[in-house]
Structure 1
């Protein structure tokens, strides 16, 4: 169970035992609210809102209302106005609770999708100057990343097909034979999908051709080539990327100067429209600008609020890979 006492001190210097217990109860209820209604757009909007708050902004009004209502339920004297830091902290603690208590059955859960969105959104933030708040932010980021990578590894595990069940001479076990064959076929199909991902990615890796730019990477502008490498690799992946996939992407990244997202539109020129063409009509992307900052810049050319932090070209390629795979796995209901 998450110990919230150290984190409550982010907004309450000397909390009483009763105060901590009340916030603990509220956070548990908030975590449950995050999953309702349980569909992808809602879950990603929760992640986007938590990312906004973790970056020093205010929670979106609907999410702030959910959090404040749960706190008021246990502390009737609570007033949301002027308590943005408390609302943000409780939302982050609720996200941690939701991820840690998610279903461990192996089936995809709401917690998986919230974790994907938080990893994508928080990983590009510069961090907070509030030491205690930053410690919490880093904990949530690491938890989300580790949760997703574990799910990705499990999803790529090849399984040994079940042993054959022999048909009895009187056909009395025909049902069990059919069930066994179905299990074997399902296992082989799953294993084949993992094989296909590897084959597609390796062929792409040695081809040197960009689908999104419709030219060789070597003939493209360095910044455009770096982003295209991430976007093209993402189309070959069926799960979130691991270290090997990152290595295959950055091995081809050309040399070039670092660039901020705010400078990107000017640097890319006409290539921006080609790189962002697939994302401008996707509400999952356009309605969650903190989860998909790069994809939104590519799709719209709009750079307000994206920050001034500069990305090296390898980092930019990996940013494109992470966001594009995040979108793909959410749309395909995988992690």
Structure 2
């Protein structure tokens, strides 16, 4: 059985869209009984509902940040989020005690995030599940992974699901639509209402298509200009690491949805050569240019309070690499990271993916 897919017997019992959690329960319980799995499944559904019900932005990004933190090697859920997860488990298993069960709490939180994202819309307008997916993709994509094989498979499943969910929405939102066939006004004006409705539909379609065209034109003009708005100079005149980050930030300002591979390629074509650095090393390398790069984000609490989702933007805004770990970023990584984080922040503010 492929553990990433549904089993037929569980489709009827738990709903056609639900993940088979049994293989992942074994991450923290070596020989679970059917009753144990059923109780954890009930708890996970309850956790998923908690994750997306208070659907204001700060809460949803905080959940994503906490889940990402818990998915790191040696990481664990923040205390408040751990309490919420433990409460859901205790509802079905009154004897459950959270102390000493960090791995179980983290696993259930990740499974709950998968459940929330799987049941979300992909219509192009941000919903609660989209915030989770965007935040988790941004946060998990810079991690090095876990040494625990089963846990790493779950982490990778959540990362892939989050990324694919967002990219499908971004691609769908950029699809140009055909206008509806024109409604001809009757001689006695009896269908005037339908004509007006038809015209409104045509205008809306043309406006949506024009927005997609404008995004492409803006990005293409920028890609050939060689000029950085955020630095106020040519990329060629900036220090290599500063230029790499500026490329991602400048491109992000011209995108209206999450980036696709084509957008990433346009950024990477100008990335200069330079050594790979950890975020701690990067602070010293950027020097005075750090505050210039981070000026747009200094007062943004969504960035500074969610350092797992926005590790690079937080560093640019605050000068702190706290919690960033020892991962080294190549020049291409820095440009891609800046693009992903900056667009993630922008689309969250604009409520579109």
TM-score under structure 2 length normalisation: 0.93
More moved, 61-70 vs 229-238: 61-70
Matched with 1:9 is 26
Specify which of 243, 247, 253 is matched with residue 225 of structure 1. 243
- Aligned to 1:278, the other structure's residue is in SS state helix
Matched with 1:139 is 157
Query: d(CA) in 2 for partners of 1:182 and 1:284?
Result: 37
Query: d(CA) in 2 for partners of 1:284 and 1:315?
Result: 22
Specify which of 14, 31, 38 is matched with residue 55 of structure 2. 38
Specify which of 133, 136, 143 is matched with residue 115 of structure 1. 133
Please give the residue correspondences for 1:91-240 in structure 2 after superposition, counting only pairs within 5 Å.
Answer: 91-103=109-121, 107-240=125-258
Aligned length: 335
Gaps of 5+ in 2: 1-17
TM-score under structure 1 length normalisation: 0.98
Matched with 1:259 is 277
Q: Taking structure 1 as reference, are residues 298 and 310 closer, same or farther at Cα in structure 2, changes over 3 Å only?
A: same
Matched with 1:81 is 99
Query: d(CA) in 1 for partners of 2:326 and 2:289?
Result: 21
Q: Taking structure 1 as reference, are residues 266 and 197 closer, same or farther at Cα in structure 2, changes over 3 Å only?
A: same
Query: d(CA) in 1 for partners of 2:176 and 2:122?
Result: 19
Specify which of 49, 53, 58 is matched with residue 76 of structure 2. 58
1:297 aligns to 2:297 (yes or no)? no
Query: d(CA) in 1 for partners of 2:299 and 2:272?
Result: 30
Q: Deviations over 1:249-302 (max 9, x none)?
A: 000001111111110111111111100111110111111110000001111111
Q: Taking structure 1 as reference, are residues 105 and 245 closer, same or farther at Cα in structure 2, changes over 3 Å only?
A: closer
Gaps of 5+ in 1: none
Residue 311 of structure 1: how far off its partner (Å) = 0.9
More moved, 177-186 vs 35-44: 35-44
- Aligned to 1:71, the other structure's residue is in SS state helix
CA RMSD of aligned residues (A): 0.9
Matched with 1:22 is 39
The answer as to whether partners of 2:27 and 2:151 remain within 8 angstroms in 1 is yes
Q: Deviations over 1:14-66 (max 9, x none)?
A: 00000000000000111011112111111111100100100132211221111
Matched with 1:314 is 332
Q: Taking structure 1 as reference, are residues 311 and 255 closer, same or farther at Cα in structure 2, changes over 3 Å only?
A: same
Q: Taking structure 1 as reference, are residues 107 and 249 closer, same or farther at Cα in structure 2, changes over 3 Å only?
A: closer
Moved >2 Å (runs of 4+): 103-108
